[in-house]
Amino acid sequence: MGEARVCLITGGGRGIGAAIAHRLAAEGHRIALTARSAGQLDKVAATLPAETCTVPADLTAPGAVDDVFTAVERRWGPVEILIANAGAGTSAPIPRITDAEWQSMLDLNLTVPFQCVRRALPAMTAAGWGRIVAVASVAAKRGEPYIAAYTAAKHGLLGLVRAAAAETASTGVTVNAVCPAYVDTPMTDSSVDAIAATTGRSPDDARATLERKQPIGRLITPEEVAGTVALCVQNGAITGQGINVDGGAVQS
């Protein structure tokens, strides 16, 4: 176990964010969790084997990112590990995507991570050490039908990661993206419900369709994503990468 660091995880109330919190807490880091639901955050925090704090927030609200970072800094000092995990997806063919839906996907999946990275970098570069990991998607690597806004935002997120890594390569800060396929989380449950409602197929049939999108024939587990995030935190030679955790769906 290495040195304990101050870690901030966005979208930390469930799913992938909660799994990452458990993995990094087990490695001895202090864990600050943020998400919209205070109740979900409290449930996760109560199960972590590490010093933990929760900062409920809607990160898309004006000034919210700065407020969250300030709260963590007042408690423990600068954020040393940033896990930009908060995100969501919607589904519609391009002609039916409204301007508001398009903007909401960009705001949460791209602008919020940018604001978090911008806020975290000065302290990290001043200290000569930092880890930033964005949870992107295999949708950052290829075009997927009916999720154009989400796909565009995740492509942008991978571009942000690559540019930030190039800027910080000589500073002791690493910046990476982890790109999962369909993960067994509440977000995928919502996708299953949407497919079933749109097509009239059963939820089990809809879930099987998503399972088959991974060549390994199953959904990815949140713990498998968390393990890849932990690797990016541990290994200072990995930077500027978009690491696929997708059961072989995209070979790159």
pLDDT in tens, 177-189: 999 999 988 778 7
pLDDT at res. 205: 87
Express as a percent the part of the chain with pLDDT over 90: 84
* The pLDDT of residue 1: 58
Domains of the chain, earliest start first: 6-180+221-243 (3.40.50.720), 182-219 (no CATH)
Please give the structure tokens belonging to residue 177: 């993206």
Strands annotated E in the chain: 6-10, 30-34, 52-54, 81-84, 130-135, 173-180, 242-245
The pTM for the full model equals: 0.94
Tokens of 188: 């995928």
Task: Give the pLDDT mean for 37-48.
Answer: 97
- Active-site residues, by number, are 150
Mean pLDDT, range 125-152, rounded to an integer:
96
Closest residue by Cα to residue 166 from 126, 121, 109: 121
What's the distance, Cα to Cα, between the start and end of the chain in Å? 31
Per-residue pLDDT tens over the stretch 51-91:
999 999 999 999 999 999 999 999 999 999 999 999 999 88
Q: Token match 């930033």: residue?
A: 132
Q: How far apart are CA 21 and CA 54, in angstroms?
A: 12
